Amino acid sequence: MYLKNLLQTWRWFGPNDPVSLRDIKQAGVQGIVTALHHIPHGELWTKEEINKRTDELKKEGFKWSVVESLTVHEDIKQRNGNYKLYIDKYKQSLANLAACGVRIITYNFMPVNDWTRTDINYTMPDESQALYFNWSDLALFDIYLLGRKDAAKDYPPAILEKAAQKNNDFTRAQKDTLVDTVLFGIPGEEKRTTEGMKRELEKYKDMDREALKSNLAYFLQEVAPVAAELGLKLAIHPDDPPFDILGLPRIVCNRQDLLDILSYSSAPSNGICFCTGSLGANPGNDLPDMINEINTKIHFAHLRNTKRDAEGNFYEADHLDGDTDMYAVMKALLNVQQLSSLQIPFRPDHGHQMLDDMGKVNNPGYSAIGRLRGLAELRGLELGILRGMQ
């Protein structure tokens, strides 16, 4: 019996990525996940720019398998300002991607800040370095360094006490590093400042989860039918971390959120990027059950692991370690793969800075060797499960 495997891919941030396409070729992946990070959020992706990136990949023998991400402009998330113009540009960018042969489009609906960590050099017991999220560090940033109005109301007393102590103990250099880390964003994109973030946060001061969900529903009702007509698959990435932060609502955090999103549009294009790291940081999520329920609406997968403590702080664990049962996740994904007409792409998401990558300039979470280790472990796990299914 022939069983279909998942498509193995690798994220590349473009020509300025410290990990080159020639490096990636040695990883043995079948496709590349990338985006046009140099184009400002909301602006049109032209066929010329898309083909330029596609040609760069072809020269090294790669196919552009997944867009990550075609960013949703803040006006769309707020359904305010020029949101209709930006939706029209989004639709045209989708049409241009389809014309150039790129079929899977990842996006997220996180307001203001994308993924958020408080330490990008957290030392593991084996002395490799991982990404880390700590609530009292975030409170220190939010209350004392960003100075968001009424921020202290969003944290429990124990976290407030720790944040106050850290504010007294941290050096100026440590505080500056924390600010840079929280504001880091996506490599290759414009860097945010604290003043810029405060201005953007102010625009969301009266928006709750239901209002933001309504705006996402409107966006999908506009965009998903267009994507379906173009033969595209959309894949929304979960919020990272999957909790409200900085006074912002987060609406892609758990099973019900994902089911709600799928209900916003019945178009076959409407689907999920199933990120085991983002969803796994929420202790209420049963990832294998969620995979079974979402099933073939999973259009893309990020496979990584996290380890939580009692406070909800978490670090990025080894791919086969941590709180997520990666065996059960991989088995569930492979069962879905047998039902899907699409070969579901996955990539080893994040990785520890280790061995010869220590001390090099790398995008946080995206050094080569740590991801190679993760890919090797996931590839072996997949092969073992497939052999057992025959």
Q: Which residues, including other chains, have CB under 8 Å from residue 271's CB and lie 6 or more apart?
A: 233, 234, 235, 236, 262, 297, 298, 299, 300
Indicate if 350 belongs to the active site: yes
Q: Which DSSP string do the residues of 18-73 spell out, in sequence order?
A: SS-HHHHHTTT-SEEEE--TTSPTTS---HHHHHHHHHHHHHTT--EEEEE--PPP
Q: Rounded to the nearest 5°, which phi and psi values hold at 7?
A: -85, 125
* 154 secondary structure, DSSP code: G
Dist. CA 125–CA 174, nearest whole Å: 22
Which amino acid is residue 6, in one-letter code? L
- Our measurement of the distance from residue 42's CA atom to the centroid of its chain's CA atoms, rounded to an integer in Å, reads 18
Active-site pick, 73, 302, 319, 352? 302
Under 8 Å between Cβ of 105 and 227: yes
Distance between CA atoms of residues 132 and 314, nearest Å: 6
> Residues 100, 349, 352, 357: which is the catalytic one?
349
- Measured at the alpha carbon of residue 333, what is the angle toward residues 296 and 24, in degrees to the nearest 5? 110
CA angle, residues 266, 270, 271, in degrees to nearest 5: 125
* Residue of 237, 299, 319, 352 marked catalytic: 237
CA 355 and chain centroid, separation: 25
What strands lie across the sheet with 314-317, from one edge to the other?
Answer: 119-123, 129-133, 314-317, 305-308
Residue 122: helix, strand or coil by DSSP? strand
CB under 8 Å to 250, separation ≥6 — which residues? 110, 209, 239, 242, 243, 244
Q: Choosing from 100, 253, 273, 275, which is the catalytic residue?
A: 275
237 a catalytic residue: yes
Q: Write down the catalytic residue from 319, 350, 352, 357.
A: 350
DSSP 166-230: HHHHS-HHHHHHHHHHHT--STTSPPP-HHHHHHHHHTTTT--HHHHHHHHHHHHHHHHHHHHHT
Q: CA-to-CA distance for 64 and 54, rounded, in angstroms?
A: 6
Q: Is 302 a catalytic residue?
A: yes
| Residues with catalytic function | 237, 275, 302, 349-350, 366
